[in-house]
Amino acid sequence: MEPLQCQDLLVQNALFTGNLEMVEKYFTRSTAINLIIETRGEELRWTSRKFGLWSLSYEQELTTPLHITASRGYTDCLQLLLLRGAAVNFAPGGKTALHEACVAASADCVRLLLSFGADPEAVSEDGYKPLHLCKSPDSIKCVQQLLKHGACVNSRTEEEEDTALHVAARHGLADHVQLLLQYGVELEARNEEGQTPLNAACAQPHSAQDMERYFRVCQLLVDSGASVNAADRDHQYPLHLACKNANAQIAELLLARGANVNIMNYSGNTALHNILQAAAYKLEHRPELVVRTLLNYGAIRIWPGSLLKVLRYCNACPRAIEALMNCYDHVRVSEEWVSAVPAEVVQKYPRFYQSLFSLERGPRSLQHLARCALRAFLEGRLLLVLSQLPLPSALQRFLLLSFEDVLY
């Protein structure tokens, strides 16, 4: 029999508010438990009509009482419906109730649905399995339940070909990553874009507040053996991607584990190019730390003739300019440099930019020239050698381009 459709607002209100008493009243054993309810969302979308016409209408979705209660975490109502014969794998709108519970990170609902025979491998209309929809930190218990009930840890989404590890890495979910690794997830699986989970974690834009979360994810992946030199289809390496997001901790991790600091992507950019292009938009991430780290690991310096262009793009981040300038024993500063920096930026960092512009009239200090000579002599071995020399910490910091907010 075709499932009945419900347009009764009282019935819908009971479900959406989780009113157990009313749900028990409306959904007796003799009534149709698997009602189809058509909901209307707040977003507009184009829908196709007959005769090749398209119209703009509110997004509509078919759902059921089971879906509504599972998506809102109403465990008591959900259990009542299941006990009264609700079809646990029914998916009129393209998703099962288990998909909805995972999106909502409702572990109790997930556990209940699975205990009533919900399929942990059910595929939604969009090609996602429940495991792929566990995208929030609170969904870790949902992942545990799914894996315990036989969900395939290496299953992929149909379109993107993401594994659950790609999803967890992309959303900065360290606990999810750790759990999936314990279940033997494939570490080097590549999705449709050729990304490994490490690539996915490094590529995902994130706020300054989330930098530590993404570092923990990358640390778990690298410690488990993930390749730090695995490129995607565009020849973007994890280091390139981490530098686009100005995450100094991840850049340091990758370089310490053998990432090639000077390898180029498909566009011919190195990691240093990427961070300089992103610096002005990532000031809260402290991009100067990435610039300094790359230079200390032997990044090929910018051609001196391009420093003026860098100044135009990165003047709002003077410490990035400072790190670059302190890698040259001599730079030809001209009047063009003065006009390249907006007056408001000069007013904000007067001491640094005055020292920069004054280099037009005289040479760098002897102390700086000695630093340049030593760094040039130790090129490619700087960090290895310095770690073995009994140098004062202040001198070590100076050789590693510590920030002074002024040029000598």
Q: What is the mean pLDDT of residues 343-366?
A: 94
pLDDT confidence of residue 1: 44
- Please tell me the distance from the alpha carbon of residue 194 to that of residue 190, in angstroms, as a whole number: 5
Q: Are strands 54-63 and 5-6 parallel, antiparallel or unpaired?
A: unpaired
Whether 5 has a pLDDT exceeding 70, the answer reads: no
Q: Using alpha carbons, list the distances in angstroms from residue 327 to 151, 246, 283, 291, 407.
A: 53, 20, 22, 11, 11
In angstroms, the CA 252 to CA 294 distance is: 8
Provide mean pLDDT across the span 226-254: 96
The structural domains of the chain, with segments of one domain joined by +, span 1-127+141-149, 326-408
Percent over 90 (pLDDT), the chain: 78
- The reported pLDDT for the residue numbered 79 is 94
Residue type for position 160: E
Report pLDDT digits (tens) over 38-68. Answer: 765 555 555 555 455 665 555 557 788 899 9
Q: What's the mean pLDDT when you consider all of the chain?
A: 90
Question: Contact, 204 vs 166, CB < 8 A?
Answer: no
Residue 360: pLDDT band (50, 70, 90) is confident
Q: What average pLDDT does the segment 22-45 reach? A: 68
Strands 54-63, 36-48: pairing is: antiparallel
**Neighbour count for residue 381 (Cβ, 10 Å):** 10
Q: What distances in angstroms separate CA 389 from CA 295, 383, 385, one per listed residue?
A: 20, 10, 6
Nearby residues of 404 by Cβ (< 8 Å), 6 or more positions away: 322
The CATH code belonging to domain 1-127+141-149 is 1.25.40.20
Average pLDDT over residues 68-87: 92
Q: Which two tokens stand for residue 170?
A: 């992309």
How many Cβ atoms are within 10 Å of 166's Cβ, its own excluded? 26
- Give residue 98's pLDDT: 97
207 or 35: which leads in pLDDT: 207
- What local confidence, expressed as pLDDT, does residue 220 receive? 98
The band of 16, judged by pLDDT with boundaries at 50, 70 and 90, is confident
d(CA 211, CA 305): 33
pLDDT value for 92: 86
Question: Average pLDDT in the 2-10 region?
Answer: 57
Q: What is the mean pLDDT of residues 148-172?
A: 97
- What's residue 175's pLDDT? 97
The DSSP result for 237-259, as a single string, is: -HHHHHHHTT-HHHHHHHHHTT-
H or E element in which residue 15 lies: helix 9-17
Q: What's the residue count for the chain? A: 408
Dihedral of the alpha carbons of 81, 83, 86, 89, in degrees to the nearest 10: 110
Please say if the pLDDT value at position 9 is more than 70: no
Residue 227 above 70 pLDDT?
yes
Whether residue 165 is predicted with pLDDT greater than 60 in this model: the reply is yes
Residue 140 has pLDDT above 60, yes or no: yes
More confident residue, 263 or 40: 263
Between residues 348 and 47, the one the model is more confident about: 348
Q: What is the pTM of this model?
A: 0.88
Please state, in angstroms and as integers, the Cα–Cα distance from residue 256 to each residue in 227, 239, 252, 298, 367, following that order.
13, 11, 6, 12, 28
For 22, residues 6+ apart whose C-beta sits below 8 A from its C-beta are 10, 13, 14
In the chain, % of residues over pLDDT 70:
91
Cα 242–245–246 angle (5° rounding)?
Answer: 85
Looking at residue 365, the DSSP 8-state letter turns out to be P
Tell whether the torsion through CA atoms of 370, 376, 380 and 385 is positive or negative. Answer: negative
Higher per-residue confidence, 253 vs 52: 253
Tell me the backbone φ, ψ of residue 123, rounded to 5 degrees: -105, 130
